[in-house]
Structure 1
Amino acid sequence: MAKPEASVQLYSLAQEFSDDMDGSLERLAAIGLRHVEAFDFVRRPNEIRAALEAAGLDSPTGHAPLLSDTLWTPDGSIPTPKPEVVFEAAATVGMTTVIDPFVAPERWLTEDGVQDIAERLNAAAEVAAGFGLSVGYHNHAQEFIASFDGRTAYERFIELTEDRVAIELDLFWALTGGQDVPGLVARLGDRLVAQHIKDGVAPASNPFAPGAPEFASTSLDQRRAGEGDVPLVASLEAATALQYAVIEYDHAPGDVFEDIAASFAFLTDGGFVR
Protein backbone atom coordinates (compact mmCIF):
# COMPACT_ATOMS: atom_id res chain seq x y z
CA MET A 1 0.00 0.00 0.00
CA ALA A 2 1.42 3.34 -1.06
CA LYS A 3 1.83 5.97 1.62
CA PRO A 4 -0.03 9.26 1.26
CA GLU A 5 1.59 12.59 0.57
CA ALA A 6 1.49 15.41 3.10
CA SER A 7 -0.58 18.51 2.43
CA VAL A 8 -1.96 21.41 4.44
CA GLN A 9 -5.39 23.03 4.39
CA LEU A 10 -4.86 26.73 3.81
CA TYR A 11 -7.81 27.59 6.05
CA SER A 12 -5.39 26.88 8.91
CA LEU A 13 -3.55 30.07 8.00
CA ALA A 14 -6.47 32.02 6.62
CA GLN A 15 -5.39 35.38 8.02
CA GLU A 16 -1.72 34.95 7.10
CA PHE A 17 -2.67 33.80 3.61
CA SER A 18 -4.97 36.78 3.17
CA ASP A 19 -2.30 39.20 4.36
CA ASP A 20 0.58 37.76 2.32
CA MET A 21 -0.29 34.99 -0.12
CA ASP A 22 3.17 34.66 -1.66
CA GLY A 23 5.03 34.86 1.62
CA SER A 24 2.76 32.33 3.31
CA LEU A 25 3.19 29.79 0.54
CA GLU A 26 6.93 30.30 0.54
CA ARG A 27 7.01 29.54 4.28
CA LEU A 28 5.03 26.33 3.72
CA ALA A 29 7.43 25.28 0.98
CA ALA A 30 10.37 26.00 3.30
CA ILE A 31 8.85 23.60 5.84
CA GLY A 32 9.07 20.90 3.18
CA LEU A 33 5.50 20.74 1.97
CA ARG A 34 4.78 20.25 -1.73
CA HIS A 35 1.00 20.28 -1.65
CA VAL A 36 -1.72 22.45 -0.18
CA GLU A 37 -5.50 22.23 -0.04
CA ALA A 38 -6.93 25.55 -1.14
CA PHE A 39 -10.11 27.22 0.09
CA ASP A 40 -11.91 30.35 -1.07
CA PHE A 41 -10.23 29.95 -4.44
CA VAL A 42 -13.18 30.58 -6.76
CA ARG A 43 -12.88 34.37 -6.76
CA ARG A 44 -9.13 34.38 -7.47
CA PRO A 45 -8.02 31.20 -9.26
CA ASN A 46 -5.39 32.81 -11.47
CA GLU A 47 -3.81 34.64 -8.54
CA ILE A 48 -3.64 31.46 -6.47
CA ARG A 49 -2.28 29.40 -9.37
CA ALA A 50 0.49 31.94 -9.96
CA ALA A 51 1.40 32.09 -6.26
CA LEU A 52 1.48 28.29 -6.00
CA GLU A 53 3.75 27.97 -9.01
CA ALA A 54 6.08 30.67 -7.68
CA ALA A 55 6.43 28.73 -4.42
CA GLY A 56 6.83 25.35 -6.12
CA LEU A 57 3.56 24.06 -4.69
CA ASP A 58 0.33 22.65 -6.08
CA SER A 59 -3.22 22.18 -4.83
CA PRO A 60 -4.51 18.77 -5.93
CA THR A 61 -7.51 19.10 -3.60
CA GLY A 62 -9.50 22.11 -2.58
CA HIS A 63 -12.53 23.04 -0.50
CA ALA A 64 -15.55 24.74 -2.01
CA PRO A 65 -19.28 24.50 -1.27
CA LEU A 66 -21.19 22.38 -3.76
CA LEU A 67 -24.30 21.51 -1.75
CA SER A 68 -25.38 24.74 -0.03
CA ASP A 69 -26.41 28.26 -0.90
CA THR A 70 -24.01 29.57 1.74
CA LEU A 71 -21.04 27.95 3.40
CA TRP A 72 -21.04 28.17 7.19
CA THR A 73 -17.82 28.33 9.15
CA PRO A 74 -17.41 28.98 12.89
CA ASP A 75 -16.23 32.46 11.94
CA GLY A 76 -18.87 33.47 9.42
CA SER A 77 -20.72 32.43 6.26
CA ILE A 78 -19.45 32.57 2.68
CA PRO A 79 -21.79 32.83 -0.35
CA THR A 80 -21.58 29.92 -2.77
CA PRO A 81 -21.25 30.10 -6.57
CA LYS A 82 -22.73 27.63 -9.05
CA PRO A 83 -20.90 24.28 -9.37
CA GLU A 84 -19.80 25.07 -12.92
CA VAL A 85 -18.10 28.22 -11.70
CA VAL A 86 -16.41 26.28 -8.92
CA PHE A 87 -15.14 23.60 -11.28
CA GLU A 88 -13.83 26.08 -13.83
CA ALA A 89 -11.87 27.84 -11.10
CA ALA A 90 -10.61 24.52 -9.71
CA ALA A 91 -9.37 23.47 -13.13
CA THR A 92 -7.58 26.81 -13.46
CA VAL A 93 -5.82 26.29 -10.12
CA GLY A 94 -4.83 22.78 -11.22
CA MET A 95 -6.93 20.70 -8.85
CA THR A 96 -8.12 17.16 -9.36
CA THR A 97 -10.74 16.95 -6.58
CA VAL A 98 -13.13 19.57 -5.22
CA ILE A 99 -14.36 18.73 -1.72
CA ASP A 100 -17.46 20.15 -0.09
CA PRO A 101 -16.40 21.06 3.45
CA PHE A 102 -19.67 21.58 5.32
CA VAL A 103 -23.40 20.88 5.09
CA ALA A 104 -25.63 22.44 7.75
CA PRO A 105 -26.41 20.22 10.75
CA GLU A 106 -30.19 20.25 10.35
CA ARG A 107 -29.91 18.63 6.92
CA TRP A 108 -28.32 15.54 8.50
CA LEU A 109 -31.13 14.86 10.95
CA THR A 110 -33.59 13.12 8.60
CA GLU A 111 -33.29 10.36 6.03
CA ASP A 112 -34.79 12.64 3.38
CA GLY A 113 -32.14 15.24 4.17
CA VAL A 114 -29.33 12.74 3.81
CA GLN A 115 -30.84 11.43 0.59
CA ASP A 116 -30.93 14.97 -0.81
CA ILE A 117 -27.30 15.61 0.12
CA ALA A 118 -26.19 12.39 -1.55
CA GLU A 119 -28.23 12.99 -4.70
CA ARG A 120 -26.83 16.51 -5.05
CA LEU A 121 -23.26 15.31 -4.67
CA ASN A 122 -23.79 12.50 -7.18
CA ALA A 123 -25.13 15.08 -9.62
CA ALA A 124 -22.17 17.36 -8.94
CA ALA A 125 -19.82 14.46 -9.67
CA GLU A 126 -21.31 14.20 -13.15
CA VAL A 127 -20.85 17.92 -13.81
CA ALA A 128 -17.30 17.82 -12.44
CA ALA A 129 -16.39 14.98 -14.77
CA GLY A 130 -16.95 17.36 -17.67
CA PHE A 131 -14.12 19.49 -16.30
CA GLY A 132 -11.83 16.50 -15.73
CA LEU A 133 -12.43 16.69 -11.98
CA SER A 134 -13.86 14.59 -9.18
CA VAL A 135 -15.78 15.67 -6.09
CA GLY A 136 -15.65 14.69 -2.45
CA TYR A 137 -17.04 15.41 1.00
CA HIS A 138 -15.37 16.51 4.24
CA ASN A 139 -17.11 15.89 7.55
CA HIS A 140 -17.44 17.73 10.80
CA ALA A 141 -19.43 16.20 13.67
CA GLN A 142 -23.05 16.85 12.67
CA GLU A 143 -23.06 13.82 10.37
CA PHE A 144 -22.93 11.51 13.40
CA ILE A 145 -25.87 12.86 15.42
CA ALA A 146 -28.78 11.02 13.80
CA SER A 147 -29.01 7.29 13.16
CA PHE A 148 -31.33 5.33 10.90
CA ASP A 149 -31.75 1.57 11.35
CA GLY A 150 -28.58 1.45 13.41
CA ARG A 151 -26.47 3.41 10.93
CA THR A 152 -25.37 6.99 11.38
CA ALA A 153 -26.43 9.61 8.89
CA TYR A 154 -22.82 9.63 7.70
CA GLU A 155 -22.83 5.90 7.01
CA ARG A 156 -26.13 6.22 5.16
CA PHE A 157 -24.61 9.03 3.10
CA ILE A 158 -21.68 6.80 2.17
CA GLU A 159 -24.10 4.11 1.00
CA LEU A 160 -26.08 6.56 -1.13
CA THR A 161 -23.16 8.26 -2.86
CA GLU A 162 -21.47 6.79 -5.90
CA ASP A 163 -18.07 5.19 -5.54
CA ARG A 164 -16.54 7.98 -7.61
CA VAL A 165 -17.39 10.47 -4.84
CA ALA A 166 -14.21 10.75 -2.78
CA ILE A 167 -14.22 10.89 1.00
CA GLU A 168 -12.01 13.11 3.14
CA LEU A 169 -12.31 12.18 6.81
CA ASP A 170 -11.57 14.81 9.44
CA LEU A 171 -10.27 12.67 12.30
CA PHE A 172 -10.74 15.28 15.04
CA TRP A 173 -14.36 15.90 14.09
CA ALA A 174 -15.12 12.19 13.71
CA LEU A 175 -13.83 11.71 17.26
CA THR A 176 -15.99 14.64 18.39
CA GLY A 177 -18.92 12.81 16.80
CA GLY A 178 -18.28 9.85 19.08
CA GLN A 179 -16.81 7.56 16.45
CA ASP A 180 -14.32 4.71 16.68
CA VAL A 181 -12.16 6.61 14.22
CA PRO A 182 -9.76 3.83 13.06
CA GLY A 183 -12.76 1.52 12.68
CA LEU A 184 -14.56 4.09 10.56
CA VAL A 185 -11.43 4.55 8.45
CA ALA A 186 -11.30 0.80 7.83
CA ARG A 187 -14.99 0.67 6.86
CA LEU A 188 -14.57 3.51 4.37
CA GLY A 189 -11.97 1.46 2.53
CA ASP A 190 -10.76 2.73 -0.83
CA ARG A 191 -13.36 5.53 -0.86
CA LEU A 192 -11.19 7.36 1.66
CA VAL A 193 -8.60 9.37 -0.28
CA ALA A 194 -7.68 12.04 2.29
CA GLN A 195 -7.55 12.49 6.04
CA HIS A 196 -7.44 15.76 7.93
CA ILE A 197 -4.61 15.39 10.40
CA LYS A 198 -5.17 17.42 13.52
CA ASP A 199 -5.01 16.56 17.16
CA GLY A 200 -6.47 17.87 20.37
CA VAL A 201 -9.09 17.23 22.99
CA ALA A 202 -12.58 16.80 21.55
CA PRO A 203 -15.36 18.93 23.02
CA ALA A 204 -17.24 17.21 25.83
CA SER A 205 -20.43 17.21 23.73
CA ASN A 206 -21.17 17.53 20.03
CA PRO A 207 -21.27 21.29 19.34
CA PHE A 208 -23.46 20.73 16.27
CA ALA A 209 -26.22 18.86 18.13
CA PRO A 210 -29.67 20.50 18.31
CA GLY A 211 -29.78 22.98 21.17
CA ALA A 212 -26.01 23.19 21.56
CA PRO A 213 -24.70 26.70 22.22
CA GLU A 214 -23.00 28.52 19.36
CA PHE A 215 -19.26 28.18 19.29
CA ALA A 216 -16.28 29.68 17.49
CA SER A 217 -13.10 27.98 16.36
CA THR A 218 -11.19 29.78 19.11
CA SER A 219 -13.00 27.65 21.70
CA LEU A 220 -11.51 24.41 20.34
CA ASP A 221 -8.62 22.72 22.13
CA GLN A 222 -6.57 21.67 19.11
CA ARG A 223 -2.94 20.64 19.36
CA ARG A 224 0.00 19.60 17.26
CA ALA A 225 -0.17 16.07 15.84
CA GLY A 226 0.74 13.51 18.47
CA GLU A 227 -0.10 15.78 21.42
CA GLY A 228 -3.82 15.08 21.83
CA ASP A 229 -6.46 12.37 21.99
CA VAL A 230 -7.07 11.79 18.27
CA PRO A 231 -5.91 8.28 17.25
CA LEU A 232 -3.80 9.56 14.37
CA VAL A 233 -1.41 6.63 14.02
CA ALA A 234 -4.10 3.95 14.10
CA SER A 235 -6.22 5.95 11.65
CA LEU A 236 -3.36 6.40 9.20
CA GLU A 237 -2.49 2.72 9.44
CA ALA A 238 -6.11 1.64 8.91
CA ALA A 239 -6.40 3.46 5.56
CA THR A 240 -6.16 1.38 2.40
CA ALA A 241 -5.95 3.93 -0.43
CA LEU A 242 -5.06 7.22 1.23
CA GLN A 243 -3.59 9.80 -1.14
CA TYR A 244 -3.21 12.84 1.12
CA ALA A 245 -2.62 13.42 4.81
CA VAL A 246 -3.80 17.02 5.14
CA ILE A 247 -2.58 18.99 8.14
CA GLU A 248 -5.24 21.35 9.45
CA TYR A 249 -6.07 23.47 12.45
CA ASP A 250 -9.43 25.12 12.97
CA HIS A 251 -7.62 26.94 15.76
CA ALA A 252 -3.83 26.68 15.85
CA PRO A 253 -2.48 26.50 19.41
CA GLY A 254 0.41 28.90 18.74
CA ASP A 255 2.32 30.23 15.76
CA VAL A 256 0.53 28.54 12.89
CA PHE A 257 3.66 27.94 10.80
CA GLU A 258 5.46 26.37 13.75
CA ASP A 259 2.38 24.27 14.48
CA ILE A 260 2.20 23.11 10.85
CA ALA A 261 5.91 22.30 10.87
CA ALA A 262 5.49 20.22 14.03
CA SER A 263 2.64 18.20 12.53
CA PHE A 264 4.60 17.78 9.31
CA ALA A 265 7.52 16.43 11.35
CA PHE A 266 5.13 14.01 13.06
CA LEU A 267 4.12 12.66 9.66
CA THR A 268 7.58 12.52 8.15
CA ASP A 269 9.54 11.34 11.18
CA GLY A 270 6.97 8.63 11.80
CA GLY A 271 7.23 7.41 8.23
CA PHE A 272 3.51 7.96 7.62
CA VAL A 273 3.95 9.92 4.37
CA ARG A 274 6.20 9.59 1.39
Structure 2
Amino acid sequence: MPTRRTFLSAALAAGTGAVAALPATASATPHLHRRVPRQSIGIQLYTLRDVMGDDPEPVLSALADIGYRRVELAGTYGRTAAEFARVLRRTGLRATSAHVGIDGDLDQVIADARTLGHTYVVVPWADHATLAGWRAFATRLEAAGEALRRAGLSLGYHNHAHEFAAVEGARPFDVITSGTSRRNVHLELDLYWAVAGGVDPVALYREHFPRVRQFHVKDRAPDGSFADPGEGTIDFARIFRSTGVAEYIVENDQPADALATARIGYDYLTRLRF
Protein backbone atom coordinates (compact mmCIF):
# COMPACT_ATOMS: atom_id res chain seq x y z
CA MET A 1 0.00 0.00 0.00
CA PRO A 2 1.37 3.47 -0.82
CA THR A 3 1.90 6.01 1.92
CA ARG A 4 0.07 9.33 1.85
CA ARG A 5 3.38 11.02 1.02
CA THR A 6 4.14 8.81 -1.99
CA PHE A 7 0.57 9.05 -3.24
CA LEU A 8 0.49 12.85 -3.02
CA SER A 9 3.86 13.06 -4.74
CA ALA A 10 2.60 10.91 -7.60
CA ALA A 11 -0.62 12.91 -7.85
CA LEU A 12 1.35 16.16 -7.98
CA ALA A 13 3.55 14.82 -10.76
CA ALA A 14 0.54 13.64 -12.73
CA GLY A 15 -1.14 17.00 -12.27
CA THR A 16 1.64 18.94 -14.01
CA GLY A 17 0.75 17.39 -17.36
CA ALA A 18 4.42 17.26 -18.27
CA VAL A 19 4.57 13.50 -18.53
CA ALA A 20 1.53 13.38 -20.78
CA ALA A 21 3.21 15.75 -23.21
CA LEU A 22 6.26 13.53 -23.69
CA PRO A 23 6.54 10.80 -26.35
CA ALA A 24 5.31 7.39 -25.23
CA THR A 25 8.74 5.78 -24.93
CA ALA A 26 10.30 3.90 -22.07
CA SER A 27 12.95 6.58 -21.58
CA ALA A 28 10.47 9.45 -21.65
CA THR A 29 7.82 7.78 -19.50
CA PRO A 30 9.55 5.75 -16.81
CA HIS A 31 6.20 5.24 -15.05
CA LEU A 32 5.29 2.80 -17.84
CA HIS A 33 7.64 0.32 -16.18
CA ARG A 34 5.13 -0.12 -13.37
CA ARG A 35 3.13 -3.31 -13.28
CA VAL A 36 0.67 -5.13 -11.05
CA PRO A 37 2.62 -7.37 -8.65
CA ARG A 38 1.86 -11.01 -9.42
CA GLN A 39 1.46 -11.74 -5.72
CA SER A 40 -1.32 -9.15 -5.54
CA ILE A 41 -3.46 -10.72 -8.29
CA GLY A 42 -6.47 -12.77 -7.21
CA ILE A 43 -9.80 -13.90 -8.60
CA GLN A 44 -13.30 -13.79 -7.13
CA LEU A 45 -14.59 -17.37 -7.19
CA TYR A 46 -18.10 -16.10 -7.94
CA THR A 47 -16.78 -15.86 -11.51
CA LEU A 48 -16.37 -19.65 -11.53
CA ARG A 49 -19.52 -20.62 -9.64
CA ASP A 50 -21.06 -22.46 -12.61
CA VAL A 51 -18.04 -24.71 -13.16
CA MET A 52 -17.22 -25.58 -9.55
CA GLY A 53 -19.76 -28.40 -9.32
CA ASP A 54 -19.63 -30.77 -6.37
CA ASP A 55 -15.84 -30.91 -6.40
CA PRO A 56 -14.12 -27.51 -6.59
CA GLU A 57 -10.61 -28.92 -6.34
CA PRO A 58 -9.98 -29.42 -10.09
CA VAL A 59 -11.07 -25.84 -10.81
CA LEU A 60 -8.89 -24.47 -8.01
CA SER A 61 -5.96 -26.52 -9.34
CA ALA A 62 -6.54 -25.03 -12.78
CA LEU A 63 -6.41 -21.53 -11.28
CA ALA A 64 -3.11 -22.38 -9.62
CA ASP A 65 -1.79 -23.67 -12.96
CA ILE A 66 -2.70 -20.34 -14.57
CA GLY A 67 -0.58 -18.58 -11.95
CA TYR A 68 -3.01 -17.46 -9.27
CA ARG A 69 -1.87 -17.75 -5.69
CA ARG A 70 -4.80 -16.03 -3.99
CA VAL A 71 -8.57 -16.17 -4.34
CA GLU A 72 -11.56 -14.37 -2.89
CA LEU A 73 -14.35 -16.63 -1.69
CA ALA A 74 -18.09 -16.32 -2.17
CA GLY A 75 -19.07 -19.36 -0.13
CA THR A 76 -17.36 -22.70 0.51
CA TYR A 77 -19.47 -24.94 -1.76
CA GLY A 78 -21.13 -27.04 0.91
CA ARG A 79 -17.95 -27.57 2.87
CA THR A 80 -17.01 -26.38 6.32
CA ALA A 81 -14.32 -23.73 6.62
CA ALA A 82 -11.84 -26.37 7.77
CA GLU A 83 -12.68 -28.69 4.86
CA PHE A 84 -12.35 -25.92 2.30
CA ALA A 85 -9.11 -24.74 3.89
CA ARG A 86 -7.66 -28.20 3.28
CA VAL A 87 -8.70 -28.06 -0.39
CA LEU A 88 -6.99 -24.69 -0.73
CA ARG A 89 -3.79 -26.01 0.83
CA ARG A 90 -3.72 -28.97 -1.54
CA THR A 91 -4.02 -26.66 -4.54
CA GLY A 92 -1.48 -24.12 -3.30
CA LEU A 93 -3.97 -21.27 -3.03
CA ARG A 94 -4.69 -18.78 -0.26
CA ALA A 95 -8.14 -17.34 0.39
CA THR A 96 -6.98 -13.90 1.46
CA SER A 97 -10.49 -12.44 1.19
CA ALA A 98 -14.13 -13.49 1.29
CA HIS A 99 -17.59 -12.03 0.72
CA VAL A 100 -19.75 -12.57 3.79
CA GLY A 101 -22.75 -11.15 5.60
CA ILE A 102 -22.55 -9.40 8.98
CA ASP A 103 -26.13 -9.70 10.21
CA GLY A 104 -25.80 -13.29 11.42
CA ASP A 105 -23.36 -14.89 13.85
CA LEU A 106 -20.36 -12.57 13.73
CA ASP A 107 -18.34 -14.84 16.02
CA GLN A 108 -18.73 -17.61 13.45
CA VAL A 109 -17.69 -15.24 10.65
CA ILE A 110 -14.53 -14.45 12.59
CA ALA A 111 -13.81 -18.10 13.39
CA ASP A 112 -14.25 -19.18 9.77
CA ALA A 113 -12.10 -16.29 8.54
CA ARG A 114 -9.30 -17.34 10.84
CA THR A 115 -9.60 -20.97 9.76
CA LEU A 116 -9.48 -20.01 6.10
CA GLY A 117 -6.63 -17.54 6.57
CA HIS A 118 -8.44 -14.40 5.44
CA THR A 119 -6.96 -10.95 5.73
CA TYR A 120 -10.07 -9.24 4.41
CA VAL A 121 -13.75 -9.93 4.99
CA VAL A 122 -16.05 -7.96 2.68
CA VAL A 123 -19.77 -7.22 2.71
CA PRO A 124 -20.74 -7.71 -0.94
CA TRP A 125 -24.16 -6.06 -1.09
CA ALA A 126 -26.61 -3.79 0.67
CA ASP A 127 -29.67 -2.00 -0.65
CA HIS A 128 -32.08 0.20 1.30
CA ALA A 129 -35.01 2.26 0.10
CA THR A 130 -34.56 5.06 2.62
CA LEU A 131 -31.75 7.22 3.94
CA ALA A 132 -32.55 5.98 7.44
CA GLY A 133 -32.01 2.42 6.24
CA TRP A 134 -28.59 3.26 4.84
CA ARG A 135 -27.59 5.09 8.01
CA ALA A 136 -28.61 2.12 10.13
CA PHE A 137 -26.60 -0.17 7.86
CA ALA A 138 -23.52 2.07 8.21
CA THR A 139 -23.87 1.86 11.98
CA ARG A 140 -23.97 -1.95 11.85
CA LEU A 141 -21.04 -2.00 9.44
CA GLU A 142 -18.92 0.15 11.75
CA ALA A 143 -19.72 -2.02 14.77
CA ALA A 144 -18.88 -5.21 12.86
CA GLY A 145 -15.72 -3.61 11.53
CA GLU A 146 -14.54 -2.82 15.03
CA ALA A 147 -15.17 -6.40 16.14
CA LEU A 148 -13.28 -7.82 13.17
CA ARG A 149 -10.41 -5.39 13.62
CA ARG A 150 -10.03 -6.51 17.22
CA ALA A 151 -9.87 -10.07 15.86
CA GLY A 152 -7.07 -9.14 13.47
CA LEU A 153 -9.22 -8.86 10.33
CA SER A 154 -10.18 -6.00 8.03
CA LEU A 155 -13.85 -5.54 7.14
CA GLY A 156 -14.65 -3.96 3.80
CA TYR A 157 -17.62 -2.93 1.70
CA HIS A 158 -18.00 -3.81 -1.98
CA ASN A 159 -19.96 -1.37 -4.12
CA HIS A 160 -22.37 -1.80 -6.98
CA ALA A 161 -23.77 1.08 -9.04
CA HIS A 162 -26.84 1.90 -6.95
CA GLU A 163 -24.78 3.31 -4.08
CA PHE A 164 -23.96 6.28 -6.32
CA ALA A 165 -27.61 7.17 -7.04
CA ALA A 166 -29.12 9.63 -4.58
CA VAL A 167 -31.64 8.44 -2.01
CA GLU A 168 -33.53 11.33 -0.41
CA GLY A 169 -30.84 13.71 -1.58
CA ALA A 170 -27.77 11.75 -0.47
CA ARG A 171 -25.65 9.06 -2.11
CA PRO A 172 -25.62 5.81 -0.12
CA PHE A 173 -21.88 5.51 -0.81
CA ASP A 174 -21.31 8.80 1.02
CA VAL A 175 -23.55 7.65 3.86
CA ILE A 176 -21.46 4.50 4.22
CA THR A 177 -18.11 6.28 4.13
CA SER A 178 -19.15 9.10 6.47
CA GLY A 179 -20.92 6.71 8.85
CA THR A 180 -17.90 4.42 9.22
CA SER A 181 -14.26 5.03 10.09
CA ARG A 182 -11.32 4.13 7.91
CA ARG A 183 -9.88 2.36 10.94
CA ASN A 184 -12.73 -0.15 10.97
CA VAL A 185 -14.08 -0.30 7.40
CA HIS A 186 -12.07 -0.33 4.21
CA LEU A 187 -13.40 -0.18 0.64
CA GLU A 188 -13.29 -2.84 -2.03
CA LEU A 189 -13.88 -0.78 -5.16
CA ASP A 190 -15.56 -2.64 -8.01
CA LEU A 191 -14.30 -0.73 -11.03
CA TYR A 192 -17.06 -1.90 -13.38
CA TRP A 193 -19.84 -0.85 -11.05
CA ALA A 194 -18.17 2.46 -10.22
CA VAL A 195 -18.01 3.32 -13.92
CA ALA A 196 -21.58 2.09 -14.42
CA GLY A 197 -22.60 4.35 -11.55
CA GLY A 198 -21.16 7.37 -13.32
CA VAL A 199 -18.14 8.01 -11.10
CA ASP A 200 -14.43 8.20 -11.87
CA PRO A 201 -12.59 5.47 -9.93
CA VAL A 202 -9.45 7.61 -9.67
CA ALA A 203 -11.35 10.55 -8.17
CA LEU A 204 -13.14 8.18 -5.80
CA TYR A 205 -9.84 6.61 -4.74
CA ARG A 206 -8.28 9.99 -4.09
CA GLU A 207 -11.30 11.17 -2.13
CA HIS A 208 -11.11 8.17 0.18
CA PHE A 209 -7.37 7.49 0.25
CA PRO A 210 -6.15 5.27 1.88
CA ARG A 211 -9.38 3.35 2.51
CA VAL A 212 -9.51 1.61 -0.89
CA ARG A 213 -7.47 -1.56 -0.38
CA GLN A 214 -8.94 -3.90 -3.01
CA PHE A 215 -10.03 -3.54 -6.62
CA HIS A 216 -12.44 -5.77 -8.49
CA VAL A 217 -10.94 -5.71 -11.97
CA LYS A 218 -14.03 -6.20 -14.09
CA ASP A 219 -14.32 -4.71 -17.56
CA ARG A 220 -17.29 -3.12 -19.33
CA ALA A 221 -18.25 -3.74 -22.97
CA PRO A 222 -19.40 -0.81 -25.15
CA ASP A 223 -23.02 -1.88 -24.68
CA GLY A 224 -22.63 -1.84 -20.89
CA SER A 225 -22.44 -5.61 -20.44
CA PHE A 226 -19.62 -7.45 -18.69
CA ALA A 227 -16.32 -8.07 -20.47
CA ASP A 228 -13.15 -9.90 -19.56
CA PRO A 229 -10.36 -7.65 -18.23
CA GLY A 230 -8.62 -5.79 -21.05
CA GLU A 231 -11.35 -6.55 -23.59
CA GLY A 232 -13.73 -3.73 -22.70
CA THR A 233 -13.73 0.04 -22.42
CA ILE A 234 -12.33 0.69 -18.93
CA ASP A 235 -8.86 2.26 -18.98
CA PHE A 236 -7.25 0.21 -16.24
CA ALA A 237 -3.78 1.60 -16.97
CA ARG A 238 -4.99 5.12 -16.20
CA ILE A 239 -6.65 3.93 -13.01
CA PHE A 240 -3.69 1.90 -11.78
CA ARG A 241 -1.20 4.66 -12.65
CA SER A 242 -2.85 6.97 -10.12
CA THR A 243 -3.72 4.46 -7.42
CA GLY A 244 -2.32 1.57 -5.42
CA VAL A 245 -4.07 -1.28 -3.62
CA ALA A 246 -3.18 -4.53 -1.91
CA GLU A 247 -5.30 -6.77 -4.15
CA TYR A 248 -6.33 -6.72 -7.81
CA ILE A 249 -9.17 -9.24 -8.05
CA VAL A 250 -10.28 -10.50 -11.47
CA GLU A 251 -14.03 -10.86 -11.90
CA ASN A 252 -16.71 -11.28 -14.54
CA ASP A 253 -20.29 -11.66 -13.31
CA GLN A 254 -21.45 -13.44 -16.46
CA PRO A 255 -18.47 -15.09 -18.16
CA ALA A 256 -18.95 -16.97 -21.41
CA ASP A 257 -16.15 -19.32 -20.35
CA ALA A 258 -15.14 -18.94 -16.71
CA LEU A 259 -11.71 -20.57 -16.94
CA ALA A 260 -10.95 -18.58 -20.09
CA THR A 261 -11.89 -15.43 -18.16
CA ALA A 262 -9.53 -16.47 -15.38
CA ARG A 263 -6.65 -16.91 -17.82
CA ILE A 264 -7.41 -13.74 -19.79
CA GLY A 265 -7.64 -11.71 -16.59
CA TYR A 266 -4.41 -13.06 -15.14
CA ASP A 267 -2.49 -12.63 -18.38
CA TYR A 268 -3.82 -9.11 -18.84
CA LEU A 269 -2.81 -7.99 -15.37
CA THR A 270 0.66 -9.55 -15.54
CA ARG A 271 1.37 -7.96 -18.96
CA LEU A 272 -0.11 -4.52 -18.30
CA ARG A 273 2.37 -1.65 -18.01
CA PHE A 274 1.38 1.76 -16.74
Aligned to 2:41: 6
% same residue: 32
Work out whether residues 101 and 138 of structure 1, in 8 Å CA contact, stay in contact via their aligned partners in 2: yes
Deviations 1:143-190 (A, max 9, x none): 1111676x6220231122111211100011111111122221222211
Deviations 1:85-110 (A, max 9, x none): 11111111111111000012xx1x53
Kindly indicate which of the two structures has a greater share of residues assigned to strand.
1
Larger Rg: 2
The yes-or-no answer on 1:235 pairing with 2:239 is: yes
Deviations 1:213-232 (A, max 9, x none): xxxxxxxx211111112232
- 1:224 and 1:122 map into 2 onto residues whose CA distance is 33
Work out whether residues 176 and 202 of structure 1, in 8 Å CA contact, stay in contact via their aligned partners in 2: no
| Structure 2 residues not aligned, in runs of 5+ | 3-35
Work out whether residues 7 and 247 of structure 1, in 8 Å CA contact, stay in contact via their aligned partners in 2: yes
Work out whether residues 60 and 97 of structure 1, in 8 Å CA contact, stay in contact via their aligned partners in 2: yes
Work out whether residues 34 and 56 of structure 1, in 8 Å CA contact, stay in contact via their aligned partners in 2: yes
3-state secondary structure, aligned to 1:190: coil
Kindly indicate which of the two structures has a greater share of residues assigned to helix.
2
| Structure 1 residues not aligned, in runs of 5+ | 68-80, 205-220
- 1:10 and 1:65 map into 2 onto residues whose CA distance is 16
TM-score for both structures, normalised by structure 1: 0.80
CA RMSD in angstroms, aligned pairs only: 2.1
- 1:145 and 1:182 map into 2 onto residues whose CA distance is 18
Aligned residues: 237
Aligned to 1:210: none
Work out whether residues 138 and 175 of structure 2, in 8 Å CA contact, stay in contact via their aligned partners in 1: no
> Cα distance, 1:259 vs. partner?
1.3
Aligned to 2:21: none
TM-score for both structures, normalised by structure 2: 0.80
Work out whether residues 13 and 256 of structure 1, in 8 Å CA contact, stay in contact via their aligned partners in 2: yes
Deviations 1:50-77 (A, max 9, x none): 111111110111111115xxxxxxxxxx
Aligned to 2:250: 247
The partner residue of 1:115 within 126, 135, 149 is 135
- 2:53 and 2:209 map into 1 onto residues whose CA distance is 36
- 1:13 and 1:97 map into 2 onto residues whose CA distance is 20
Aligned to 2:19: none
The yes-or-no answer on 1:134 pairing with 2:154 is: yes
